[in-house]
Structure formats: C-alpha cells, structure tokens
Chain A
Amino acid sequence: MTDPAIETEQIVKVFGKRRAVDRVDMQVSVGEIYGLVGPSGAGKTTLIRMMCGLAIPTAGSVSLFGHSIPKEREAVEERIGYMPQERAVYRDLTVAENLLFFGQIYGMNRKTIAARTDELLALMQMPDLEKQRADLLSGGEKQRLSLACTLIHNPELLLLDEPTIGLDPALRSEFWDHFHALKQNGRTILLTTHYLEEAGRCDRVGMMRLGSLVAEGTPDELRGRVSPDGTSVSMEQVFLELTQASKSERSNA
C-alpha cells in the first residue's frame, strides 16, 4: 500500500494564547486535489506551513509520503513545491532569472531549466515575458510566475497557499485548468482558498474554521450532508451550515 501524500495526526499549533490549528487529522492521497477552505484566520496557512516544515507543530505530527516533517524533511524536499501566499518572486530579477534561480537550487542544470522555462511560460501563457523584470509584471502575471517557480523542478506534491488570491475570475479558471492538467500528470495538490466556490473543483475538501477541520469529504458528499434531498446548494451554503452545525455541537458538548 502506498503512503498517503500528506497525513496529519492531531496536529496543533499554538501562538501565545491562540490555537491557530487545533487537533487536525487529515489525509491526502497521491494524485488528489485537496482544497482547504475557510475564512481568513481559519488556520489554513499555518497548517500548510507545518506541512512544509516552516512551522513546528506544538503537538501532533505531520508526514509527507510517509516521512515525518520536519525531522525527515530532507527525504522529501525535492518532491514538494511550495507556493507561499505572498508572490514570492524576486522583484528585481527577470522572469527567466527567477526560474533559473529556483531551478538551480533544486540542482537542475541550465539546459534543463531553459527547456522547462519555455514549457512553463507557454503553459502560463506568458512566452514573451521571459526578459521582463518581475516588478514590471501585472498582478496576474506575477501570480503565474510564482506558480511557474513552484513547478520548475516538476514536484510530485504541490502545496499552494491561496494560489488564486487576487486573480480575476477568468484567470482563476485558467489556474484551475492548470491544476487539473497537473493532476492528470499524476501530481498531488493541496491548496488553500477562501473562495468557497473553488471548493467544488477539488476532489476532496476540508473546511476549516477557527483552527479546526469542521467537515471533510468530496464536494458532492458535503452538499449531500446539507441537502439530503439533492436540491442544488452552493459551497458557500454548505460551509455556513456545516460550520454552524459544528459550532452547535461544540456548545452542546
């Protein structure tokens, strides 16, 4: 049996008196698109940072491909690609120079990087921008460059923190097409978003609120919990109802 791409067990992160993540158990299988949805402050970014080894869990554990993080991070670091919420590109470098740097730190040679750069820029529909400085790109182009930098070393697992934030609906749709194309190529994607309608495009969804995972399942399963008779409901309604139900359960407990 293959290890899940991501597995967390009772993971907790406390900042001062605030529990940013509270006993989250989740599993993401290889080849799956898993969406962590929830409002700002729900704990999505902290959870993803713990998966990357950028934040140390206060309690519980996280593993990627069966390797405990952060202890065995070295074993998996070349297999993961992380896109932080900030655009995380060098403003004063050109598009090609950014891709060259992020390729080189993963041990790729210049020739391979050049070929991969052409491929990615074509995919991101920015082939003429190779020599453009990143600070002169538009917001959407910067976001696409950021995704290209994450993909440069062809990682198996993509951890994308709010990859579609600030994009117009057309560009967001394009990004989702990229994600599905990557899934077709066997990639696993965990992404966070606070656009609830995007949850419908994931294979499975985890809904977070105040650090807890309040509901998890495929979009249809989650809709089914709210509307057993099959009436069409939006993911926003699903989120509101399920988080409300979780709140009531907690107060009753």
Chain B
Amino acid sequence: MNRRSISRIRSVAERVLRQIWHDKRVLAFMFVVPSLAMLLFGFSFAGDIRGVRMAVIDQDQTDLTASIIDNLQHDSTFSVTQIVTDVSDPQQLLLKSGYQAIVRFPKKFTSLYYAHFAMGVATSAQGTIDLTVDESDPQIVAAVKMGLADAVMNLGEGGPIDIQTRELYGVTVRFIDSFAPAIMGMVVAIVCTVLTLLSVVREKVDGTFARIWVSPVRRAEFILGYIAAFGLIAIGQSFLVMSIGKLVFNIVINGSIFWAYVCVVLFAIGNVGLGALLSAAAQTESQAILFFPLVILPSVLLSGMMWPLQAIPKLLRPISYLIPLTYSNRLLRAVMVKGLLPWQEPVGFAGVLLFVLLTILSATFVLRQRASE
C-alpha cells in the first residue's frame, strides 16, 4: 500500500463522512439509535414485576389474615385495591373487574394454621390460601406465587400454608403459550410497517407515485390496496405462526381461531397505515431503513411481549401505552389464551381500533399533502 493508495482510501472515507454529514436525518439516527437501544435494553432488563392488580377476599378476618394482607400491601409486586369479606365466585371477580390475582382466605384458615403449628406433623390439617390468578402471562403467575409465599414467610411463625391455584383456563399456561400471540403481532407489525414503508418510498423514488396520482386512483384506494395485500399476507403469517406453535410447541389455543385472524388483520391494517405515514418522512430507501430500529426496538422491549408491563419501569411505562403492539398483545392473548371475544378485552380491542383509525386517516391525509405539494 503506497501513499497514493492511502490518499485514495482517505478520499473515499472523507466522501462517505461528508455524505453522512449532509444528511442530517442519518446523522441524528446514528446517535439516537444506540442511545435508545442502550436505555431501553438497560431499563427493560433491570425491571422487576410491580403493581400486579390484586383483590383479597378475607372470609376469616383474623389478626393473622390481617398481617398477611398487610405484608401483601407493603410488597411493591402487588397493588391491593380491594379487600372484601365475601365473594361467592372469585373467578368472576377476576374476569369482570380486571384483577390479575384474587387471594381468598377461607373460613377457619387461621385455626387450621395454628392447629398445624400446635400439633406439628401429627395432623395433616393446614391453612389453605385459595389463589385465582390470570394465567395468560406465566411471568405474572410466578411473581404472584412468589410474592404470596414471601408474605406468609414474613410472619416468621406457624406451620406451612398451602397455596392452591385454580386453573382459570382449564390448562396450565406456559411461557410459549402467551408468547405465541405476541410473536404473531410482532411479525405482522414488522412486516406490514416495514414493507409498506419501503414500497411507498420506492414508489416516490421511481416516479410511479406521481403516475398513480395523475390517474383516477384516490388516496384512500391506494391505501386500501396496500391493506388488502398486507391483510392477506398477515393471515398467511399468522397461519404459519399458529401452525408451528401448535405442531412443534403444542401451544394452547383456548379461543376462536377465526377471531384471532380478525384481530391480526385489524392490527395489520393499522401497521400498513403506520408504514404509509412514516413514508412521508423519508425521501429515499436508505432513509426509510433508518426507521426500522425505531419501530422494532420499542415494540420488542416495551410492549409486554417479552415480559409483563408490570416489569417495565414506571418511567418507561407511558411509552408502553403508546406502542400499538401493547394493545395487540393484550387482545390476542385474551382471544387465544383466555378464549374471550375481542370486545371482552375492551382495552386491547379499543387500542387496536384506535391505532387503525388514527394511522389510516393520518396516512391518507399525509399522502394527499405529499402528492400535491
């Protein structure tokens, strides 16, 4: 390598740096993406599960149960918002009132507990806590069981307590069972957003966009065309994820597969809108690629896909509620794992519908603006 060669290498490097310097968007992304990645990964992995919504049914009402409840209230894992003395069906309370766990101290809990304490191994009687927990997220279940065991252990006295868990959905839900609906949403989000974004930007770069706007095609028709294509792709992708999940991992699908497809297609529509919307901010394909980490990173880390929202630090949780995948996860888990109909999970359903409405309307508006500058 001689001096002239080094000089040529320097020229190439200098030219590349100049190009980056001239494109302020690339420059900004170069610093924003690593910072964002480090912050998101750091905060997300560091989080413990906090604020699991819990109700307590205290049918025994003794000092012992009061102490356990006090321990639960002081544990940041839980947010104990209701303490009642009697509810006939804890399962209904959980399903209808949005709790994630219901702890019930049955009558004679305290006497059985102390009987075991007094008689030791001579008796099989022991206090039993009845736990009803939303099993659609196994990480929440594990955190609830651990927190409840800690609350009892912290008493520092007495015999063993049996925690009996009710299987809410008829089967034991594993991590993969609650992860599969999230993967479906994630795949649809990435493919629809990224491909729409790239396709629309490519139309702009190649000039086909201008040719289309001069034709009788309307903005809404253009978007609907994309929606139809990606809706079909989303159905195909979901079929693949569900089939592999069922055949290879034997995942639990408690609910209606039809409604699962409906929800996936709805979510796909929103993501097509998001892709079209983002395309307004990119003039070239390389600029469009810069958006990928911005779409993918927060969705993977903050949507409740990998770990429950309660495990995400409070500082970042408002961002979670702005991420469409958060609502899709909630909705698809409710439909596939809990066996509910979409509208029986109002938060997830409304979130996905709002996402669809906002992105499609704004994309149509933005494309109209862009087409007639």
Contact = CB atoms under 8 A, between A and B. Distances in A.
Interface in B174-212: 205-208, 210-212
A105 B216 contact: yes
A74 B213 CA distance: 11
Contact of A149 (B205, B210, B211, B217): B211
Given A55-B372, A70-B372, A84 B207 contact: yes
A105 B372 CA distance: 19
Interface stretch (A35-43, A75-83, A118-126, A210-218): A75-83
B371 interface: yes
Contact of A54 (B205, B213, B217): B213
Nearest to B203: A90
B248 interface: no
Contacts of A87: 206-207
Nearest to B218: A74
Contact of B210 (A80, A84, A90, A105): A84
Contacts of A56: 372-373
11 contacts: A49-B210, A52-B213, A82-B214, A86-B206, A87-B206, A88-B206, A88-B210, A102-B215, A105-B212, A105-B217, A106-B215
A88 B373 contact: no
Contacts of A105: 212, 215-217
A107 interface: yes
Nearest to A92: B202
Contacts of B216: 74, 77-78, 105-107
A19 B279 CA distance: 28
A54 B372 contact: yes
A84 to B, nearest CB: 4
A178 to B, nearest CB: 18
B214 to A, nearest CB: 4
B215 A88 contact: no
A154 interface: no
Interface of A: 49, 52-56, 70, 74, 77-78, 80, 82-91, 102, 105-107, 149-150
A89 B208 contact: yes
B211 A84 contact: yes
Closest 4 CB pairs of A and B: A86-B207, A88-B207, A84-B207, A82-B214
Interface of A is mostly: loop
Given A105-B216, A106-B216, A54 B206 contact: no
Given A54-B372, A84-B207, 8 more contacts: A53-B213, A56-B373, A77-B214, A86-B207, A86-B210, A88-B206, A88-B210, A89-B206
B34 to A, nearest CB: 33
Given A53-B372, A55-B373, A56-B373, A77 B215 contact: yes
A80 B214 contact: yes
A107 B221 CA distance: 13
A242 B206 CA distance: 35
B206 A82 contact: no
Contacts of B217: 105
A94 to B, nearest CB: 15
Nearest to A49: B210
A52 B215 contact: no
B214 A85 contact: no
A181 B222 CA distance: 34
Nearest to B372: A56
B372 A88 contact: no
Nearest to B213: A54
Contacts of B213: 52-54
A149 B371 CA distance: 20
Nearest to A55: B373
A152 to B, nearest CB: 10
A49 B210 CA distance: 9
Nearest to A70: B372
A42 B223 CA distance: 35
Interface in B81-115: none
Contacts of A84: 207, 210-211
